[in-house]
Amino acid sequence: MPKVTVLPADVTAEVEVGELLLEAGEKAGVEMEAGCFNCSCGTCVVEVVSGMAHLEEPTPEELDVLDQWNRDPEKFRLACCVKVLGGDVTIRQPAH
């Protein structure tokens, strides 16, 4: 089973393949910020510290939002719309 670790809380949860990063963070006991739940506002942006290859490819909509927030899609993703494909992933929530 894949594992998702959320920093800076440094907590980990086992997740199902196909589970959203947002759900994985909440499963780990972390309050994940999200606004729209459909890849349009950017509130849920997280840095992918490791395991980017274990996430599904970004959609054009996600790429547009990341561009609006000046976030590199090779380092950042929107937790509400990206699914874990398998393998371990570590993400970092931004300081708010």
Given a cut of 90, is residue 24 above it in pLDDT?
yes
Is 28 a member of any domain?
Answer: yes
If you average pLDDT over residues 33-51, what whole number do you get? 90
Is 36 a member of any domain?
Answer: yes
Is 19 a member of any domain?
Answer: yes
CATH number at residue 78: 3.10.20.30
Domain count, the chain: 1
Q: What range does the domain containing 32 cover? A: 3-91
pLDDT digits (tens, 9 = 90+) for 77-89: 999 999 999 999 9
Is 24 a member of any domain?
Answer: yes
Is 96 a member of any domain?
Answer: no
Is 81 a member of any domain?
Answer: yes
> Would you list the DSSP string of the chain?
--EEEEETTTEEEE--TT-BHHHHHHHTT-----SSSSSSS-TTEEEEEE-GGGBPPPPHHHHHHHHHTT--TTTEEETTT-BB-SS-EEEEPPP-
